[in-house]
A and B are shown apart, each in its own frame.
Chain A
Amino acid sequence: MKLTGAQALIKSLEMQGVDVMFGLPGGAILPVYDPIIDSPIRHILVRHEQGAGHMAEGYAHATGRPGVAMVTSGPAATNIVTPLADAYMDSVPIVVITGQVATNLIGSDAFQEADTTGITMSVTKHNWLVTDANDIPNVVAEAFHVATTGRPGPVLIDFPKDVANAEMDWYWPTSVDMPGYKPNTRGHSKMIAAAVKMLFEAAKPVFYVGGGVLNARGSEALAELVEITGIPVVTTLMARGAFPDDHPLCLGMPGMHGNYTAVTAMQKSDLLIALGSRFDDRVTGKLDGFAPGAKVIHVDIDPAELGKLRRPDVPIVGDCRSVIEDIIRAIKADPDAYQQRTDISDWVKTVKQWQEKYPLKYEQPALSGVLKPQYVIEKLRDAVPSDTIVVSGVGQHQMWASQYWKFNYPYTWINSGGLGTMGFAVPAAIGAKVGKPDRTVWAIDGDGCFQMTAQELVTASMERIPIKVALLNNSYLGMVRQWQEMFYGERYSEVYLSPDLPDYVKWAEAMGCASFRVENAEEVGPAIEKANEINDRPVVIEFRTDSSEKVFPMVPAGVTNDNIILGPEGLNGI
């Protein structure tokens, strides 16, 4: 069967099981947009290519399947660099297809030419420039294989216009042949045995769970391992929901804005079992003072993570779920060793005492008084289905959402952790809702973030994707304001936005959304109820919140986690 390159590309996507793609056409990608008309793949037309990339990410986060975005060459390709970088940092499988000028024009500074593979080399797991239409099925199969296996990540296919117009003989490869790409998924049995031994010897162990557990679909296995061992768990910003917050052994989020117990349990532990986590500086604080007395078992599918920042005593390369299951098997195979394991009940008791003594706290004054953002999040949490997918932007609101929500199911929390991309929330929420149309999806966004990608609400209205947005409008680039208040002597430089410019309600309405404004605590509950009733359009609730509220606890940059500041009173932790 003869197909054009463009037809072969779309057919290849169909063969990969793609049901939806996010994109926006233009000159170089024009030939590929024609066969889309005849394809069962749903195409969602975005308003800015960055939106397409974040939608693909949101879709991938929510479903576990790779998200697909397609845009044209030049400026469209550069517009999607941010989502690629975001997906690279957070290990999100997305496949981005960019148009390119015809091969005979490459290198000539042709109209809308950009060196897309060059530009995106450092923010993709791999990229391809297709130069022969006969390669298309192979390249697509390889691209999806690379994006979804091993440590997942973004890939990009750069697709010149003449290749799209050329003819090829259709085929579909039965396997991929990549001699340099063979990710290892099974942990080494000797290392598993060493890990079990170390686990039983520890008196103050902590599971340090990262996003790798979610990528490995490893939540159930983790729950079983925690049940067997009784070891407390911290879930990083990327792993919220990987272990239920309601579980008595769940300590919540560690790190710069982690709660006292999660931070301190790691700091005082004698064994950290790092599962798909990567010792990010926002978790460790000053690295050489991080968990100084702890041995480390580090499990990761990416060998380069082992020893990158902290040298593990037991390194295990492998898929988190497979390794956790192997550890469980090894424990069950030796009941004597299990019986003789170190008693950790004192440790668990100590940790529980910290939890009671140092809970997260804020004060909502009289119901008519100024509205605290944490109060809004708690109210929202209690008024929506427990499996609601929460998607956040980047800033104070993100930290409060992560702190105050109760994540009891995996894949209910989607955010930009590694790159910290403002503007992530609205498009990622749209992608999540497209992937999981039966679930309630709430974006919790900041006023600064919202202004970066709000235009995608037009996409959501047009395509009838009824997401809901809780906009925490504190009139500031709040997180930056907080640093200026605390570390720059309250010298505020370029952080003031405005409470009412733009008028968010009018803006949301203009984009086809239902929208209302909430100015005090009394109105919070009724407004959320009203939003819950609306399912035919997106909803935006603007909450006018206290500008001066700060995120606590906080470990200032550059110091060790022993220096945790619990609250505005500046009380020193330990």
Chain B
Amino acid sequence: MSISYIPGNGSYIDASENAGVIHHHVLSVLVENRAGVLARIAQLFSRRGYNIFSLAVAPTDDSRFSRITIVVDVDSAPLEQITKQLHKLINVIKISELDPADSVECELLVATVNADISSRGHVMELVALFDGKIIDVGVDKLTVLATGEPSKLDDFSELLSSFGIVELQRTGRVALAKLERQSNKLKNTTGRAG
């Protein structure tokens, strides 16, 4: 078996089994950290007929705010309309649409796969290839973990499936904008004098 991992091109277009392509966009939404905010967002999506592909919520370094990373299916509605409606929620502070070319994305996957004596070695090899970890060991099963770009995890889970996946769980992606590569120093020197 020869496996070579081809890094995902970060495309928002995922192959779907029967419906051709589904177009995904990633929104990074900064919200006030208050009771019910997630309900407001989920409810907005449901009542306006927008589809959420994945969603991850976590506090930020500032305890007043949380960041919600939403991967939306923009076949259900134009992205512009989705962001405008989100902006109308009083608790939403800022929305950034993350362009794949200008952002870093990461997701975590855990899976329990069949791994008896005969296949265990192959599973471990695959996990190593994907920089993964084995986090639990059973008699004839292993639970494995991998992190990285969502498309890498797509490949990983597909390859795992040949061994038989018992259970699989993914977190949905989190993302941040890529950092500025150019130095800001020049700009700063023209700032405040003295």
> Which residues of A approach B to under 8 Å, CB–CB?
117-118, 121-122, 125-126, 129, 146, 178-181, 302-304, 307-308
A residues near B117, Cβ cutoff 8 Å: none
Interchain Cβ contacts under 8 Å between A and B, 12 examples: A118-B36, A121-B39, A121-B43, A122-B47, A126-B90, A178-B90, A179-B32, A179-B93, A180-B89, A304-B87, A307-B78, A308-B81
Residue B76 at the chain A interface, CB threshold 8 Å? no
Contact indicator B90/A122 (Cβ below 8 Å)? no
Most chain B beta-carbon contacts within 10 A, residue among A180, A303, A304:
A180
The 6 A-B pairs with the shortest beta carbon distances in the complex, nearest first, are A304-B84, A126-B90, A180-B93, A181-B90, A122-B47, A303-B84
> Is A118 within 8 A of B39, CB to CB?
yes
Of the residues B32, B35, B47, B80, contact of A129 by C-beta under 8 Å: B35
Contact A122 B36 (CB under 8 A): no
B88 CB–A CB distance under 8 Å: yes
The tally of residues in B whose CB lies under 8 Å from a CB in A reads 21
Contacts of B91 in A (CB 8 A): 180
Q: From A118, which residue of chain B is reached at the shortest CB distance?
A: B39
- Given contacts A180-B90, A307-B81, 5 further A-B pairs with CB under 8 A are A122-B43, A126-B89, A179-B32, A180-B93, A307-B78
Complex: how many Å from CA A117 to CA B87?
Answer: 19
CB distance from B53 to the nearest CB of A (A): 22
Residues on B facing A (Cβ under 8 Å):
31-32, 35-36, 39-40, 43-44, 47, 78, 80-81, 84-85, 87-93
- B59 smallest CB distance to A (angstroms): 16
CB distance from B191 to the nearest CB of A (A): 26
Tell me the bound Cα distance from A117 to B39 in angstroms. 10
Q: Do B80 and A307 have beta carbons less than 8 Å apart?
A: yes
A129 to B39, CA, bound (A): 14
A178 to B92, CA, bound (A): 10
Whether the pair A303, B93 counts as a contact (CB closer than 8 A) is: no
What A residues does B80 contact at CB under 8 A?
A: 307
Name the B residues within 8 Å of A181 (CB-CB): 90
Interface centre among B31, B44, B90 (most CB of A within 10 A): B90
Bound together, the chains give a CA A180 to CA B68 distance in angstroms of 15
Which residues in A have their C-beta under 8 angstroms from that of B32? 179-180
Closest Cβ of chain A: how far from B50's Cβ, in Å? 13
Distance between Cα atoms of A126 and B40 in the complex (Å): 10
Given contacts A118-B39, A121-B39, A303-B87, contact A180 B81 (CB under 8 A): no
**A180, B84: Cβ atoms under 8 Å?**
no
Asked whether, in the complex, the Cβ of B87 is within 8 Å of the Cβ of A146, the reply is: no
State whether A117 touches B84 (Cβ < 8 A): no
- Residues of chain A lying within 8 A (CB to CB) of residue B78: 307
Docked CA distance A24–B3 (Å): 72
Docked Cα-Cα span, A307 to B93, in Å, equals 22
Q: Are B36 and A180 in contact (CB under 8 A)?
A: no
- Measured CB to CB, the closest approach of chain B to A143, in angstroms, equals 11
| Shortest Cβ distance from residue A322 to the other chain B in the assembled complex, whole angstroms | 20
Specify which chain A residues have a CB less than 8 angstroms from the CB of B35 in the assembled complex: 129
Chain B residues positioned under 8 Å from A125 (CB to CB):
88, 90
